[in-house]
Structure 1
Amino acid sequence: MSVDVATDRPAGSVAAARDSARRFLEGLVPALASEAAGTVVLVVSELVTNALRHGGGTCPLDLTAHPNGIEVAVHDHSPRAPRMRAPDLDVGAGGFGWPPVNRLATSTAVTRRASGGKTVSALLLR
Structure 2
Amino acid sequence: MRTQHTPLDTAPLETATFAKRPESVTDARDLTRAFVAGLTPAVGAQAAATIELVVSELITNVVRHARGALCSLHLQAQHDGITITVSDADPRPPRERDPDLEGGTGGFGWPMVQQLARTVSVTRYATSKTIRAELAR
- For normalisation by structure 2, the TM-score amounts to 0.85
Instruction: Choose from 73, 85, 90 the match for 1:61.
Output: 73
- 1:103 deviation in Å? 0.7
CA shift at 1:15, angstroms? 0.4
1:69-126 C-alpha deviation (Å, 9 max, x unpaired): 0011110111111122221223222311001111100000000236x21001111000
Paired residue for 1:5? 18
Does the alignment pair 1:14 with 2:5? no
Q: Among the aligned pairs, what percent are the same residue?
A: 50
Larger Rg: 2
Aligned residue identity for 2:47 = A
Runs of 4+ that moved beyond 4 A: none
- Does residue 1:76 correspond to 2:78, yes or no? no
Q: Given residue 14 of structure 1, which amino acid in structure 2 is its aligned partner?
A: V
Which segments of 5 or more consecutive residues in structure 2 lack a partner in the other structure?
A: 1-13
- Aligned pair count reads 123
Which of these residues, 29, 34, 56, is aligned with residue 23 of structure 1?
34
Instruction: Tell me how large the CA RMSD over aligned residues is.
Output: 1.2
Q: Is residue 109 of structure 1 aligned with residue 121 of structure 2?
A: yes
Please report the TM-score for the alignment, with normalisation by the length of structure 1. 0.92
- 2: CA distance, partners of 1:102 / 1:86: 15
User: Following TM superposition, by how much is the alpha carbon of 1:53 offset from its aligned partner in structure 2, in angstroms?
Assistant: 1.2
Whole-angstrom CA distance in 2 between matches of 1:44 and 1:73: 9
Q: Name the structure where helix makes up a greater proportion of residues.
A: 1
* Pairwise CA distance, 1:51: 1.0
- The 8 Å contact of residues 92 and 124 in structure 2, kept in 1 or not, is answered as no
Distance 2:132 2:27 in 1: 19
* Structure 1: runs of 5 or more not aligned: none
Q: Is contact 1:54-1:78 (8 Å) kept?
A: no
The amino acid across from 1:3 in the alignment is: A
